[in-house]
Each structure stands twice: as structure tokens, then as C-alpha cells.
Structure 1
Amino acid sequence: MKKLLVAALMSAASVGAYAADVKVTFDGEVVDETCKINGADPLVDVLVTLPKVSATSFSEASRVSGAKKFDLKLTDCTAAPTVRWEPLPNVDLTTGNLKNLSAGGSNVQVQVLDIDQRVVDLNDDTGYKVTLDANNAATVSYYGQYYANTLPATAGLVNTYGFVTLTYDN
């Protein structure tokens, strides 16, 4: 019994001997601010149907095809959000594109572009700060397109997903 008591006291004493170099304090706030997206409260499911393209349209790696525009219509916003793509496990660490989750369509990914058709790296999206109109609304447009990460790009289904988050700055 005395051995257990001594061991417990020694164990407790060793915790106090640990010296930290940095204290990190997290401070934040959960707010009621939000926007409706495409007329609904979050979580909204947006389906973007890319056009059918021929596997031969990918004659070299990094070739793209089948761009399709889609909009996120923000309404009833209580504050102007920043729209940001989340880095998910199905984002390719090298290309920043969405990996194909279907068994077919090998070596093809889905690449996201902003309204100016610049590639959005989904591993490190800094976001887009929305400017609201007089009705507290805005439309944020993106494109999705096929991307051949390696050759050969083979025929088959392509299916993947990404998450977009709205954050509200002070």
C-alpha cells in the first residue's frame, strides 16, 4: 500500500516538472450570422453535371475538358461571408483537385475554377470575400472541369464532391 502511495505521489510530482515553451490559447465566437444558399439553409447539396467527353480529348497529362459553370446564390445574409473550399481527404495533395471516387474514369480528377477561370487549389483555398448587394445577396460562381492527372485517361464514370464553407469575419 505504501509503495502505491509513493508511486502515485512521484507520478503527480513529475507532471509539475514539465516545462512548456509556448502557451496557445484559442479564442473565438460562434455567431448566428448566415446566408441562405440557393434558397435553402445550409447544408445545401449542389449537383454539377459535367458534360460527357471523350477519353481521347486528354492527349497529355494536365489536359482539361468539359468545363461547366455553377452558381452559389447567397440570400438573406446577415453579414458578408468569405466562401472557402475545405481540404478534404479526397483532394489530391499534388494537384489540389478532387479525386474521382468512382471505379471508372481512371486518371481523371475534377478541377475547380473561380469565376475568372483561375484554378482553385482545394488544399489551400484562401477564400473569396463576398460583397453583398443592397438586398443582402450575392452570387458566387465557379466552374468544374475534368483534369487528366496522368495518362491514359480511361472511359468511365466520374463522381466526387467538395465542401464549401461560409465564414463571417468581425
Structure 2
Amino acid sequence: MKQHREEAMRADLTWRQRTLSAVGFAGCGGGVTVWLVLVLLAGLLLVVAPSGGAVESDGVWPVVWAALVLIPCTAAVSLLMHPLRVLTRTRVSFGRARRVTDALVSTLATFLSVLLTLVLTPGLTVRQPWLPALAATLAVTAANVVAERFGGRKGRA
């Protein structure tokens, strides 16, 4: 019934309204993508800048490229980590232990994503890539802890 109403509403739209709707959705998707890349770029710059000589870049574009490469690397690592995540969720049923194992699997996935990104990004020369990957993992973990603390307080107030 609901689907029939939605189809009837779409049928009432003119060609111009459909086009404007499609352009609006594309613009929204593009804006979200740009925002995501900017956040990833800021995170990568926070890891690359203080790393000293561990990460050398041929310029700014390899760091931008790394922000773009991080997205598919994260998707690939998530697919590979999914069986481990399912296994830990089915085997661990207690509240606190389950949260801890989920956090450990998430931390491992973050570490592997950043490590894969550092290795696969053209224009970046990385000596001992596990050090910047560890720094990025610790930064993401700290950001998650801070977000959880402030988010929990806001919900309780």
C-alpha cells in the first residue's frame, strides 16, 4: 500500500521536478563525499605531519590521494574482518565482554585500513608503516572515546 502511494506521488511529478530532485540528491551525495574526504584528509595530515621522517610525500596530492584510497581500503578490510566480527558476536554474549571484543575488532580493522592505505598510496614513501598506522589508530580510538563520553552525557541530561 505504501509503495503504491510513493509510485503515485512520483507519477504526479513533472519532468522538471524529477530532474531537480535528481540534481538535489546528486548534490547532497557529492557534498557528503567531499565532507568525508576532507575529514579523512585532516586525519591523515594529523598523522603525517608529526610523524617526522617516517612518512614522506611528493607533495600535497599524494596525501589527497591517500584520503581517497582510504575509503576502498576501509571497505576491503571491513569485508575481511566481517567473519571475525560475526564470530566474536556469536561466541561472546556478555555485555561488557562483548563491547570490549567489538572495540578490539574495530581497532584492528582501523589499524589494517590505515596500514593498507599507507602501503598502496602512490607518492607516499613510508618507512616502518606500522608506526603511522598505530598513531592513526590511537587517534581514532581517542576520538571515539571522547565522542562516546560527550554523547553519553548529552543523552543523560
**Normalization by structure 1: what TM-score?**
0.23
Task: From the two aligned structures, give the one with the greater helix fraction.
Answer: 2
Task: From the two aligned structures, give the one with the greater strand fraction.
Answer: 1
Larger of the two Rg values belongs to structure: 1
